[in-house]
Structure 1
């Protein structure tokens, strides 16, 4: 089997041949340098034990079709459908929802996003020659065909590259942050159902609560008086479900925009995303650390690109990541969760986590031949 090449893709921007990786915990100012930098930030990053990293690549192309990722003739080889296991089973998840109720009753918090991590064994591929990592590009193409998403992404830097490795494939529908022309924007999602008729007053109240949290986050780095909710409780349809989405926008403060560590300031003010933590955020994070039994990793973190004073970062939901551990030959993981408030029904919240996972886990568990691709063309450098 040919040696795997490194690549990254996000919302139509495709890169190949990794050059370097930087640790954003230590050097967030590097994001101000010429990029684009492809970013993957763990939910637990910035002081909570997770990683925040960015990779730069030699070749970048724009306007690449979403499914144009996997090398011709390759197939995605996913786990057996029955091999997935959850960090919290149904009884444990419902008990966790009831624990959040206790915190709400005590006045500690208004909302907590409670998640569970699914995992299935997925070993190195042995097709003769040197074993290689599972084909992330083939999974990305599979998701682009079966579950198209506005912020579809993939970043794969194999361990054999000699650069800090990563393996993440996402079909995220949610904007964490964009920066363009000095305008900083976010698009929090709260409220999920199979159809629009299934959305409830609880979903709408939850969305308003988190939208206010995101507005407060943006105000920490934007010019006073410029932060506004430009769309509240918008309805978006995605494969198999619908979401309530709001939009918040502000003008990045001139002193932040001019700072060498501007991305350190922006991420410090807004991370982790409010829609996947809770309100108040600091209290919600303490409760998440107490109740969840597995780290989220890239799930609920950030995935996207930063290029100087422009950026587009998604919330890392609907996200798969693959890793090798000291006692295994590789594990594929996927996270799913729901926002818990006083009005939450434990059974309904469990079902929401199932709804969010069922389509994507089904796609990832299926072996399907991928379409032809020109991922491995030399590409061109990103225009400035």
Structure 2
């Protein structure tokens, strides 16, 4: 059990004893000092559907990540999950995006659905986020895995998020030569079970979104410093592969020293381009029209900000719990070249391993 004091883990850091929660959009300057664990809803600041939240929690104690205590995850039955869109509804949404592409409204839009299943903890408790995080770390290790659980019993704004994200949204750090602060993003576009399954559509989509991310970073970086440092690299993850690119730039002096670094960064880059589309404003409007439920922290951001440095993941491969329901989002990028049935299968591929891990009491496989 996580107890009633709160717990968080990301990038080799574990924190305990939540003491404060802030609204990042209202007080972005607070992130400039101290260590904060951040969860931002996809809808935060986008103006779509509903105003989402971007929150950060400060904890009393910070530790290097250590072996977690042996706890058993008790998830929902595998047949308890339902989807916010069935196959017919999802394929119809793919067709609608293709119509928007044909009409010149958008080049690409990410269409997602949310799976949910009833789940409650023991009487008077919440489900054990630490146990699910440990289970995913064994069965689906991820480079940007994260967990933040602040129970309602703390009296703070509660949160329950466990993520096995493979994707970097933003990192911020001082340049090694002292010449400013470097911001980097690692957009993922293109998913298949094996490298041979990656298509020309996947590669074209990745290039399109990489260009969008490059344009986003140019709004906060010094002119001429934004570069694509790698393009279309194949990364292997448990049960699937991704195409990943990397974009890097040096933050402009007025952004880096303004005291409102995170106001500028979020305004310029959020929500992440890989899970919205291009042009981003048009894609967000279409997403708001087609998706029947909010995404919440799925496709948002989760990670830490510590004394001027940061590492935030895109909130994909992410579970969140509230109101007695465990939720998990899955989606795919839609272009003119999309086949509706293939896009549905991609959403199934992204969900199948993780939902199985969250649903079963057996030991997860460790194959890659």
* TM-score normalised per structure 1: 0.91
Residue 293 of structure 2 is matched in structure 1 by 294
The corresponding residue for 2:26 is 26
Partner of 1:14: 14
Cα distance change of structure 1 residues 258 and 279 upon mapping to structure 2, 3 Å threshold: same
Q: Distance in 2 between matches of 1:167 and 1:319?
A: 11
Aligned to 1:199: 198
2:177 matched residue in structure 1: none
Match of 1:214 in 2: 213
In the alignment, the residues of structure 2 paired with residue 339 and residue 2 of structure 1 have an alpha-carbon distance, to the nearest angstrom, of 36
Residue 177 (structure 2) pairs with residue 188 (structure 1): no
Distance 2:301 2:139 in 1: 22
Aligned to 1:145: 138
Shift of 1:47: 4.8
Q: Deviations along 1:39-77, whole A, 9 cap, x unmatched?
A: 000000015310100000011112x25xx33x33x2100
CA distance, structure 1, for counterparts of residue 247 and residue 32 of structure 2: 24
CA distances 1:265-296 after superposition (whole Å, capped 9, x unpaired)? 01110000000000000000000000000100
Query: Which whole-Å CA distance do the structure 2 matches of 1:289 and 1:312 have between them?
Result: 28
TM-aligned CA distance change 1:362 to 1:250, over 3 Å? same
How many residues matched? 355
Aligned counterparts, 1:83-232, within 5 A: 83-126=80-123, 131-181=124-174, 182-232=181-231
Q: State how far apart, in whole Å, the 2-side matches of 1:259 and 1:214 are.
A: 22
The two structures have a TM-score, normalised by structure 2, of 0.94
Structure 1 ranges of 4+ moved more than 4 A:
none
The Cα offsets for residues 190-216 of structure 1, whole Å up to 9 and x where unpaired, read as 000000000000000000000000000
Q: Deviations over 1:293-319 (max 9, x none)?
A: 010000000000011320000000000
Matches of 2:83 and 2:208 in 1, distance apart? 29
Distance 1:242 1:368 in 2: 25
Contact 1:318 1:335 in 2 (8 A): yes
Contact 1:170 1:318 in 2 (8 A): yes
Distance between the aligned counterparts of 1:365 and 1:155, measured in 2?
A: 20
Gaps of 5+ in 2: 175-180
**What residue is the counterpart of 2:310 in the other structure?**
311
**Alpha carbons of 1:47 and 1:108: their partners in 2 closer, same or farther (altered >3 Å)?**
closer
SS of aligned partner of 1:76: coil
**In structure 2, distance between residues paired with 1:263 and 1:114:** 27
> Contact 1:192–1:352 (CA<8 Å) still a contact in 2?
yes
Residues 1:107 and 1:161: Cα distance change in structure 2 (over 3 Å) = same
User: 1:376 maps to what in 2?
Assistant: none
> 2:63 and 2:172 mapped to 1: Cα distance?
20
Which residue does 1:53 correspond to in 2?
A: 55
* Aligned residue number for residue 37 of structure 1: 36
The answer on whether the counterparts of 2:206 and 2:244 sit within 8 Å (CA) in structure 1 is yes
Could you tell me how far apart the structure 2 residues matched to 1:106 and 1:208 are? 21
Q: 1:349 aligns with which of 311, 320, 343?
A: 343
Shift of the 2–45 alpha-carbon distance from structure 1 to 2, 3 Å rule, reads closer
* Unmatched segments (≥5 aa) in structure 1: 325-329, 371-384
Structure 1 counterpart of 2:325, from 331, 346, 350: 331
Look up the SS of the partner of 2:213 in the other structure.
Answer: helix
Q: Is the Cα–Cα contact under 8 Å of residues 76 and 369 in structure 1 kept in the other structure?
A: no
Give the whole-Å Cα distance in 2 for the aligned partners of 1:3 and 1:188. Answer: 35
